Chain A
Amino acid sequence: MRTTKRALLLVGSPKGLARSLGSRRGAVILDALQDRGAEVQKMHILPAVSSAAGKRALLDAVQRADKILLAAPLYVDSLPAPVITAFETLSESRAEIRDDKQMLALLNCGYPEASQNAVAVQICQSFAQAMGWAWAGGIAIGGAGFRGDAMQRIAARVADALLQEEPVPEEIIRLAAAPAMPTWLYVLGGNLMWRRQARGNGVRRRLRARPYVKLDDR
């Protein structure tokens, strides 16, 4: 009987394994799992769901894993479309996937309030239930991130919980949701960032452009 646990990090950001913030945070948790003896694997969802071969590879990777970690950004109050495609694909093949798995969602949004991820977390939980997997919890992170070196602490506690087949402690979920800066500062900094990026692209004066303005002014 195999005793080594296998963890799979599914990265839902279209930006990919290297550029996605969620991927980097998920990798810290994978490292903590690896330090505790688990075998780990990462997979980028967008290319996986874009071909039949990729979907087969996704199914095989999920089948092999004991722990499924999904790291994804919030897109319009829910998961990015490729993540939903992955859920649909896995759900359609549910009969060939073992149900002795545990799933954790690690979601981040571009708004400072981590609570804006709540519906997406519920969608992940519903998917886990439909697959017959144990739900380890949803770690929701706001756009302002969390305080100081919280990621290492979060990763260690999450890895411990997963390897003990337990849900992530509420204290860790609260820690991840605590913003690193006040909302007013996030809004100020965010708006400066968008304007600076537009200026860098030579479109600062067009930031409020209305390319479909004729329709707008009917």
Chain B
Amino acid sequence: MATVVVLDGSRPAEQGMEGICRLLTDVLHATSVREETLCLRELEIAACQGCFACWTRTPGECVIDDAARGVARAVIGGDVTVLLTPIVFGGVSSDLKKAVDRLIPLYSPLFRRVRGEVHHRPRYSRYPSLVGIGVTDRGLGTNDEQVFRRLFDRIAVNFMSPSHGVAILDAADAHEQMAQAIREVLAGVGVS
């Protein structure tokens, strides 16, 4: 059975995000996958120190012994990673970014060229597909939405995701409309 790991990057007391996370969980429960949701704001995760010890001192594992190790283990063990976040200036929330920054031990420090650009080499033989779900309260069609899509296109390259998709949810939308958008983006990476 495929495993979908959800990294919930909603911030404390954020309007509507809790309901959207529950909605995502409900959608996943209606599919044939095993779902594991990690509520990042409830985990102790330090910011990446940029020391690269996870590459050259303890290869494959961050030297900071906190919940981020478990997040990295869950991500590489899953088939699909879903990053759920409010759209913050076109990017992701700080809580989500803290966890994402700490995923670099999953990759090799060594470089290779991918589609004309330099990126890191894989450490593992397989990586999960990637889904970005961004929630906005500013209506759809903003520049931030385009930036968010471009961000996930790039993260998918660096995370070596075999497939990826992005859904943008308007917090004012009806739940069924949001559920449909979630189902569609998950179907794009083979979750149905």
Contact = CB atoms under 8 A, between A and B. Distances in A.
Interface of A: 13-15, 46, 73, 75-82, 84-85, 87-88, 91, 111-113, 116, 118-119, 122-124, 126-127, 130, 183, 186-187, 190-191, 194-195, 197-198, 200-201, 203, 206-213, 215-218
A78 B92 CA distance: 9
A195 B100 CA distance: 25
Given A113-B118, A206-B59, A208-B108, A14 B150 contact: no
Contacts of B119: 111
Residue among B11, B77, B88, B91 having the largest count of chain A Cβ atoms under 10 Å = B91
Given A77-B155, A88-B11, A215-B76, A207 B48 contact: no
B123 A210 contact: yes
Interface string B67-110: 00000110011000000000011111110011011011000111
Contact of B143 (A81, A124, A126, A190): A126
A60 B91 CA distance: 25
Interface of B: prevailing SS: mixed
Interface residues of B, number: 51
B68 to A, nearest CB: 11
B60 A212 contact: yes
Given A78-B91, A210-B124, A111 B101 contact: no
Residue among A46, A76, A123, A124 having the largest count of chain B Cβ atoms under 10 Å = A76
Contacts of A123: 89-91, 147, 151
B75 to A, nearest CB: 9
B47 interface: yes
A111 B157 CA distance: 13
A26 B61 CA distance: 32
A77 B151 contact: yes
A80 B101 contact: yes
Contact of A78 (B55, B60, B103, B151): B151
Contacts of B124: 210, 212-213, 216
A211 B47 contact: no
B158 A14 contact: no
A79 to B, nearest CB: 7
A111 B117 contact: yes
B50 A13 contact: yes
A59 to B, nearest CB: 16
Given A81-B98, A111-B118, 7 more contacts: A80-B50, A119-B150, A124-B89, A198-B55, A210-B124, A215-B77, A218-B77
Contact of B118 (A73, A186, A212): A186
Residue among A78, A197, A217 having the largest count of chain B Cβ atoms under 10 Å = A78
B103 A76 contact: yes
A211 B105 CA distance: 10
B110 A194 contact: yes
